[in-house]
Amino acid sequence: MKEKNNDFFVVTKRSPSNIAIVKYWGKHGNQLPNNPSLSFTLSRCYTETKITCERSGNEGMDFYFEGKENVAFKDKIVKFLADNAQYFGFLKGLNLKIESSNSFPHSSGIASSASSMSALIMCLLEIEKIVNGDDTSIDLCKASFLSRLASGSASRSVYPVMALWGETPSVLGSSDEFAVSVENMVATVFKTYHDSILIVSSKEKKVSSRAGHSLMNGHPEAAARYEEARRNTEVLLQALQRGDVAAFIEIAESEALRLHELMRSSNPPFDLMEPATMKIINAVRDYRAATNIPLCFTLDAGPNVHLLYSDSVADKVVDFIKKDLVGYCVDNKWIDDIVG
Point out which residues bind ligand PMV (CB under 6 A).
20, 23-25, 37, 111, 113, 151-153, 209, 213, 259, 300-301
Which secondary structure element, helix H or strand E, spans residue 284, and what is its range? helix 275-291
> ω into residue 33 within 30 of 0, thus cis?
no
The residue among 49 and 151 lying less far from ligand PMV, judged by its C-beta, is 151
Q: How far is CA 338 from CA 173, 201, 332, in A?
A: 27, 21, 19
Q: Minimum CB separation from ligand PMV for residue 83, in Å? A: 15
The residue among 166 and 284 lying less far from ligand PMV, judged by its C-beta, is 166
Q: Minimum CB separation from ligand PMV for residue 33, in Å? A: 8
Phi/psi region, residue 93 (left: phi>0; alpha: psi -120 to 50; beta: rest), is: left
The residue among 54 and 234 lying less far from ligand PMV, judged by its C-beta, is 234
How many residues does the structure list for the chain? 340
The residue among 301 and 305 lying less far from ligand PMV, judged by its C-beta, is 301
First to last CA, the chain: 20
Under 8 Å between Cβ of 204 and 223: no
Q: Minimum CB separation from ligand PMV for residue 123, in Å? A: 19
Q: Minimum CB separation from ligand PMV for residue 193, in Å? A: 16
The residue among 52 and 84 lying less far from ligand PMV, judged by its C-beta, is 84
| Beta-ladder partners of 305 | 198, 299
Q: Minimum CB separation from ligand PMV for residue 34, in Å? A: 11
The residue among 13 and 23 lying less far from ligand PMV, judged by its C-beta, is 23
User: If 0-12 CB within 10 Å is exposed, 13-18 middle and 19+ buried, where does residue 59 land?
Assistant: exposed
Q: Minimum CB separation from ligand PMV for residue 160, in Å? A: 17
Q: Rounded distance, CA 278 to CA 102, Å?
A: 28
